Amino acid sequence: MKARPLYLLISPFAMEATLFYILATMLVVFAILTVTAANPVRSAVYLISALLGMAGLFFLLQAEFVGAVQILVYVGGIMVLFLFVIMLVSVREVETQRRANRQWKTALVLGIVLSFELVYFVVQGADVFRIDTISQDLIIESQTLNTETVGGLLYSTYLLPFEIASVLLLVAMIAAVVLTQKQL
Amino acid sequence: MDINYTAILPEIMLSLVGICIMLLIPFVPRERQTHLGYLALAGIVLAFFGVAMGWGQTDLAFSEMIFQDDFGQFSKIFFLFVSTVILLISMNYLEQEKLFQGEFFVLLLFATVGMLFMATSADLIMTFLGLEVLSISTYILAGFKERERKSSEAAWKYFLLGAFSTAFLLYGIAFVYGATGSTKYLQIAEAIQASPDYSLILFVGLGLMMVGFGFKVALAPFHAWTPDVYEGAPIPITALLAVASKGAALLALVRILYQVFPDLSQQWQAILWPMAVMTMAIGNIAALTQSNIKRMLAYSSIAHAGYLLVGLTAHNPLATQGILFYLVAYAFMTLGALIVVQIVGRREEQHTTIEDYNGIGYRYPFLGIALSVFLISLAGIPATAGFMGKLFVFSAAVQSQMYGLVVIALVTSAIGLYYYLRVIVSMYMGEFKTEKIPITISMPLRIILTLLVLGTLYLGILPGSLLNLAEEAASF
Amino acid sequence: MVDITHYLVLSTIVFSIGVVGVLTRRNVIIILMSIELMLNSVNLNLVAFSDQLQDPSGQVFAIFVITVAAAEAAVGLGIIIALFRNKETVNVDEIDLMRG
């Protein structure tokens, strides 16, 4: 008699829950480390880890495309940009600098209050979510791939926002040029 | 998918001309780059034609992404007008400060594109993207005086608070989406109407969105960035922020509150009421002690946002009409006042304290009269546009039986009289000091100022024509 | 299936960490990273709602948010470089030429 493979002992629910808690812990821990680290380089690396944890959560929620974009754009693009600027700007200063600004205690209390308030509202209000909006085309959607669905939406319903997003990126590009070019 | 190009024709024109200027910049010698402003002006004129082509049509195009309606057309004309004035004064400004960078005009055009999208958007995603196009352009424009520390500081502060508030706005939008299942204005409104037992999440979402918009419109308690940014930014950009950026966020808020959340009006009125009181009080009281005229006008613009908020809180058809009228009146007088500030400020904005205005009224009668008219109008004295605007906005509030709010608004306006009149007094009573650099007024600025003065007086005496337009636009 | 409330609470916690970061830190680059954290928690909300409502438009929204975050990061870092050139500092407390 063959032994059953180990993963069958875990129900799919428990599997998802376990993964969720692992990723959530990773996200929260690295997020806290990001905002508390003394050295911006460390902070950036922690942020990368937090963002990877977030991408894992996206995969767990069956949003593969957003998860992939998160890894490619955030981790691969934005964070590298951050690291470049840190190298360019602030290496000398990090050692001597005091970490927090003057009003940090007030801000911390404010943040904790905000957090509790939002958590309270979320927990109180979560049962009233509308789940009756599932329309016909979405039932077909469940058979197609996530990337296909999202891509289809981007080029149909969300065509105009898509174009504006491209204008936005153009503006950001001009902005970067204006800001960093040397004055002649 | 319903493509309707006339609905976005002005935006297309502006973007195309912006890209053309971008392509031309490498081929134009640096000292001549201010001439690219004429091309930008042509772009705005084309955009005016674009609005004219869609005049009177109503539609909901691009899969419920954008409205084409009278409110939108009115807003578009308003923003294009403001951009024209700002473009003309900034050509003068760039020449004077020797800032030869054609990118300025490109960013100005794209900022206008953002405003137009905000005023016509029919989906929260669109509103958000429009806001971002506007914001990112203005972050850079605020820091355009590259070599000056104040200007980069202004850019950083504006950016930091802008990005921070964007996150709140987005968090709010996400909650609204979660609670109603859509980001489209009309569908959200339907969903709220269909299930009157609103979820708590929806309120939180609405509240967070108000925080986001509060920052953009500079409403108390989210106004702290305004004086620093207005002071540090180049004067044409101060005008852009004070009039166009504020106006765009306000008009988007009008549409969102009146069209998406009319059923929750009791709730958002409860948030807006104290905000309006605080905004008017803080704006007017803080302006009293300012010695720099740019900072004074910054606080004055906060106060005026408070008056507009009184109208917004009233929530009736008269209120929308009043807000639109007030916004135009506010644009006339604020743009005018800032143009005078630019002329008196001279090179590198060295003369921006109120003492610099001593005796100017007799020495330069044209500037004296112009600034007096604008300040009297800002103070809300009869026979000026500012008075009429206040009259309409406050009577809308009276119609909704918000007597307390109107009384507070009147008291704070009375406080406001003091600091506006102080400048006029120093212009005519103060002793004129001989200046190193004489004040020069170029022809285009003289023409614009004359037109703005006439406009301010015209709207104050015969408000009927604009009021009729605003009434048409006020019906969503 | 993990209840949506879990995701929302998690997102709220991350958002608040970001807020605290923006309000307490002095290094402008870390402030910028805290803002990125806030924007990302919005995405978690959107994707969780999208899963709950079985409506992919939440995911499309999340992609727009990432686009905007990228643009904002680029511009923010550009401003930091401009600031650094003028002032040689990345400390917010020293960015205070105008007080009033």
Domain assignment present for residue C47? The answer is yes
- Which domain CATH number covers A32? 1.20.120.1200
DSSP summary character for residue B28: S
| Most distant CA pair in chain B, distance | 70
**Whether residue A137 has pLDDT greater than 50:** no
What is the token pair recorded at B366? 């044209």
Considering Cα of A92, then A97, then A100, then A103, what sign does the dihedral take?
negative
The span from the CA of C87 to the CA of B32, in Å, is 30
When divided into structural domains, chain B yields a total of 1
Find the domain containing B447 and state its range. Answer: 264-476
Q: Does A143 touch chain C (CB under 8 A)?
A: no
- Which of C49, C79, C83 is nearest residue B174 as measured by Cβ atoms? C49
Find the domain containing C25 and state its range. Answer: 4-87
Q: Which residues contact A106 (CB under 8 A, 6 or more apart)?
A: none
| DSSP helix, strand, coil percent of chain B (3-state; round to 5) | 80, 0, 20
Domain assignment present for residue B467? The answer is yes
Which residues, numbered 21 to 50 in chain C, qualify as contacts with chain A under a Cβ-Cβ cut-off of 8 Å?
21, 23-27, 29-30, 32-34, 36-37, 40, 43-44, 47-50
Q: Does C87 touch chain A (CB under 8 A)?
A: no
Q: How far is the alpha carbon of A183 from chain B, nearest alpha carbon, in Å?
A: 8
**Residue contact B126–A161, C-beta within 8 A:** yes
CB A133 within 8 A of CB C52: no
Domain assignment present for residue C78? The answer is yes
**Whether residue A138 has pLDDT greater than 50:** no
| Most distant CA pair in chain C, distance | 54
Q: What pLDDT score does A136 carry?
A: 43
Find the domain containing A64 and state its range. Answer: 11-96
**Whether residue A140 has pLDDT greater than 80:** no
Residues of chain A contacting residue B179, judged by C-beta atoms under 8 Å apart = 125, 128-130
Residues of chain A contacting residue C44, judged by C-beta atoms under 8 Å apart = 54, 57-58
Model confidence at A101, pLDDT cuts 50, 70, 90, reads low
The span from the CA of B93 to the CA of B112, in Å, is 19
The span from the CA of A70 to the CA of A59, in Å, is 11
The span from the CA of B94 to the CA of B22, in Å, is 17
Using 50 as the pLDDT threshold, list the residues of chain B that sit under it. none
For B151-291, strand residue ranges (E) read none
Residues of chain A contacting residue C32, judged by C-beta atoms under 8 Å apart = 82
H/E element, B59? strand B59-61
The span from the CA of B463 to the CA of B456, in Å, is 10
- Which domain CATH number covers C17? 1.10.287.3510
What is the token pair recorded at B162? 């802008």
What is the token pair recorded at C50? 């999208």
Model confidence at A121, pLDDT cuts 50, 70, 90, reads confident
Which residues, numbered 290 to 349 in chain B, qualify as contacts with chain C under a Cβ-Cβ cut-off of 8 Å?
290, 292, 295
Domain assignment present for residue B473? The answer is yes
* Closest chain B residue to A135, measured at CA: B181
**Residue contact C64–B181, C-beta within 8 A:** no
pLDDT, tens digit, 9 for 90 and up, residues C23-68? 888 888 999 999 999 999 999 999 999 988 888 999 999 999 999 9
- Of A30, A62, A96, the last residue of a domain is A96
When divided into structural domains, chain A yields a total of 2
Q: Does A21 touch chain B (CB under 8 A)?
A: no
What is the token pair recorded at A146? 């996530």
**Residue contact A35–C34, C-beta within 8 A:** yes
Q: Does B2 touch chain C (CB under 8 A)?
A: no
Q: Does A180 touch chain B (CB under 8 A)?
A: no
- Which of C35, C57, C75 is nearest residue B183 as measured by Cβ atoms? C57
Q: Is B425 exposed, middle or buried (0-12, 13-18, 19+ CB in 10 A)?
A: middle
The phi, psi pair for B61, rounded to 5°, reads -105, 175
- Cis check: omega of the bond before A12, within 30 degrees of 0: no
Best residue in A114, A163, A164 to probe B by mutation, most B CBs within 10 Å?
A164
**Residue contact A175–B136, C-beta within 8 A:** yes
Residues of chain A contacting residue C36, judged by C-beta atoms under 8 Å apart = 47, 74, 78
The span from the CA of B219 to the CA of B280, in Å, is 9
- Which of A122, A126, A171 is nearest residue B133 as measured by Cβ atoms? A171
Domain assignment present for residue A111? The answer is no
What is the token pair recorded at B73? 């057309």
Alpha helices in B181-234 (DSSP H): 185-194, 200-217, 226-232
pLDDT, tens digit, 9 for 90 and up, residues A44-97? 999 999 999 999 999 999 899 999 999 999 888 899 999 988 888 765 554 445
The span from the CA of B34 to the CA of B11, in Å, is 23
Q: How far is the alpha carbon of B145 from chain A, nearest alpha carbon, in Å?
A: 10
What single-letter amino acid sits at A19?
Answer: L
Q: What pLDDT score does A143 carry?
A: 56
**Residue contact B167–C31, C-beta within 8 A:** no
Domain assignment present for residue C100? The answer is no
**Residue contact B129–C68, C-beta within 8 A:** yes
When divided into structural domains, chain C yields a total of 1
Residues of chain B contacting residue A183, judged by C-beta atoms under 8 Å apart = 146-147
Q: What pLDDT score does A134 carry?
A: 46
Q: Does A153 touch chain C (CB under 8 A)?
A: yes
SS3 B148: coil
Q: How many C-beta neighbours within 10 Å does residue B475 have?
A: 11
Q: What is the ipTM of this complex?
A: 0.92
Cα–Cα–Cα angle for A172, A178, A182, rounded to 5 degrees: 145
- Of A64, A96, A128, the last residue of a domain is A96
Same domain, A92 and A152: no
**Residue contact B126–A157, C-beta within 8 A:** no
**Residue contact A160–B113, C-beta within 8 A:** no
DSSP summary character for residue A3: P
The span from the CA of B441 to the CA of B89, in Å, is 11
The phi, psi pair for B286, rounded to 5°, reads -65, -30
**Residue contact C15–B167, C-beta within 8 A:** yes
Residues of chain A contacting residue B130, judged by C-beta atoms under 8 Å apart = 164
CB B299 within 8 A of CB B287: yes
Q: Does B209 touch chain C (CB under 8 A)?
A: no
DSSP summary character for residue B68: E
The span from the CA of A181 to the CA of B144, in Å, is 12
- Which chains sit next to C, with 3 or more Cβ pairs under 8 A? A, B
Q: Rounded to an integer, what is the distance from CA B338 to the centroid of its chain?
A: 13
Smallest CA-to-CA distance from B356 within B423, B265, B443, B303 is with B423
Same domain, A19 and A92: yes
Q: Does A177 touch chain B (CB under 8 A)?
A: yes
Which residues make beta-bridge pairs with B61?
B66
